[in-house]
């Protein structure tokens, strides 16, 4: 049965009481004693340890804290207790238990400054990565035999062919949604037939390429970051440098070229699937025949809408592949970095694509291609 530490209070004559402790002063038995000591409020002259047994660091600290709080002397301690109490007294610190909390405005300013500095260094690293990429392209142009055609074809398959299913389904459903919701709104003005214009222009000009870029960022951009990050973590990239193979030429260039080459094709495919989705739902809900919908698309959609989408597609592909490859090459330290860099690659790619799409919209409007 466990023996608990306890105390007896012996009242003195005007000079304060004597608190006599008894039992083992160890962490397993000192809990009730600590609560009783905290409840003593009167003056204490002496703390008597003659009736105590074993003592550990927690017991020594409890006794010392109580004695110092009441400015009492410690008496009756054996050799072990006296040495342990002296060690604990020498190890005391005057520092606050909880760190001082800075004002909110100082913390906000410091965090902003840290983010600005990190952004500056990140910009320099991106510029260095672009420089290394351009040097690799130049080296491949000068020595075309070093270009890895099989790696390019493989990446084109992964980026393009393997994503046809999900991109086609997504685009078809987007076309259905645009046509359905557009028809509901246009019906208020008796202009349901303008649903064809809405579906054709918005998919060929904006949503087809934009949604494809977002899908490629989430699918292929994350894969680029995870693959290169894992290779960096397992020192495969260092091994390639050791045997004289450039990682930029062997790993980065094929992935970037694959994304740039496949994005226009995927964007056009997505636009076509969106139009088919709009035509399908229009045939069921608006009574517009499927073939009539497609024929009308050719009449109401100007050709430059297709050009706008095809111009944006390779730029979006470049941004997505650059974000994925760059973040993958930045992995260092541990496996957690792979997940963090992969997430950052997807977020940065999607953000950059949307921002660039806004700039393209303004640019082509100024050119009169609205």
DSSP 112-141: HHHHHHHHHHHHHHHHHHHHHHHHHHHHHH
Tokens of residue 237, six digits: 């990239």
Dihedral pair phi/psi, residue 271, rounded to 5°: -65, -45
pLDDT tens for each residue of 78-123: 888 888 888 888 887 776 667 778 889 999 999 999 999 999 998 8
Quick one: DSSP state of residue 100? Answer: P
Lowest mean pLDDT among 46-60, 268-282, 332-346: 46-60
Cα 331 to chain centroid distance, Å, stands at 13
**pLDDT value at residue 192:** 81
CA angle 280, 282, 284 (to 5 degrees): 75
Dihedral pair phi/psi, residue 75, rounded to 5°: -130, 160
User: What residue ranges define each of the domains in the chain, with the CATH number in brackets?
Assistant: 6-90 (3.30.750.24), 148-366 (no CATH)
Quick one: DSSP state of residue 70? Answer: H
- Is 228 or 13 the better-scoring residue by pLDDT? 228
| Residue 12's pLDDT band (cuts 50, 70, 90) | low
Q: Which residue has the tokens 């399908």?
A: 280
**pLDDT value at residue 61:** 86
pTM of the complete model? 0.73
Number of residues in the chain:
370
Give how far Cα 53 sits from Cα of 37, 76, 231, 269, Å: 18, 11, 61, 84
What average pLDDT does range 135-149 have in this prediction?
A: 92
How far apart are alpha carbons 156 and 65 in whole angstroms? 72
| Residue 169's pLDDT band (cuts 50, 70, 90) | very high
């Amino acid at each position: 049965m466990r023996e608990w530490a306890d105390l007896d209070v012996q009242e003195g004559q005007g000079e304060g009481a004597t608190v006599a402790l008894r039992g083992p002063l160890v962490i397993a038995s000192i809990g009730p004693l600590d609560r009783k000591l905290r409840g003593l409020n009167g003056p204490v002259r002496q703390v008597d340890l003659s009736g105590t047994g074993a003592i550990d660091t927690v017991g020594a600290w409890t006794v010392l804290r109580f004695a110092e709080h009441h400015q009492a002397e410690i008496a009756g301690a054996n050799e072990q207790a006296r040495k342990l109490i002296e060690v604990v007294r020498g190890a005391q610190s005057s520092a606050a238990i909880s760190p001082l909390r800075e004002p909110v405005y100082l913390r906000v300013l410091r965090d902003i400054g840290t983010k600005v500095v990190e952004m500056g260094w990140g910009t320099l690293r991106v510029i260095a990565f672009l420089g290394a990429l351009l040097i690799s392209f130049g080296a491949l142009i000068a020595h075309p035999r070093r270009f890895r055609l099989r790696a390019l074809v493989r990446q084109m398959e992964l980026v393009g062919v393997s994503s046809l299913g999900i991109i086609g389904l997504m685009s078809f459903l987007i076309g259905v949604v645009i046509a359905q919701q557009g028809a509901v709104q246009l019906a208020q003005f008796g202009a349901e037939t303008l649903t064809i214009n809405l579906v054709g222009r918005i998919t060929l000009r904006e949503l087809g390429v934009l949604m494809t870029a977002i899908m490629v960022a989430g699918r292929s951009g994350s894969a680029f970051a995870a693959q290169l990050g894992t290779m960096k973590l397992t020192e495969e990239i260092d091994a390639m440098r050791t045997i004289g193979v450039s990682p930029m030429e062997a790993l980065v260039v094929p992935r970037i070229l694959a994304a740039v080459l496949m994005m226009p094709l995927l964007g056009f495919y997505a636009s076509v699937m969106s139009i088919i989705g709009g035509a399908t739902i229009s045939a069921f809900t608006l009574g517009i025949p499927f073939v009539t919908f497609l024929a009308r698309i050719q009449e109401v959609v100007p050709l430059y809408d297709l050009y706008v989408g095809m111009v944006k597609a390779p730029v979006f592909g470049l941004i997505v592949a650059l974000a994925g490859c760059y973040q993958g090459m930045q992995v260092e330290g541990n496996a957690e970095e792979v997940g963090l860099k992969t997430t950052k690659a997807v977020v940065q790619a999607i953000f950059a694509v949307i921002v660039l799409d806004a700039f393209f919209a303004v640019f082509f409007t100024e050119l009169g291609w609205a």
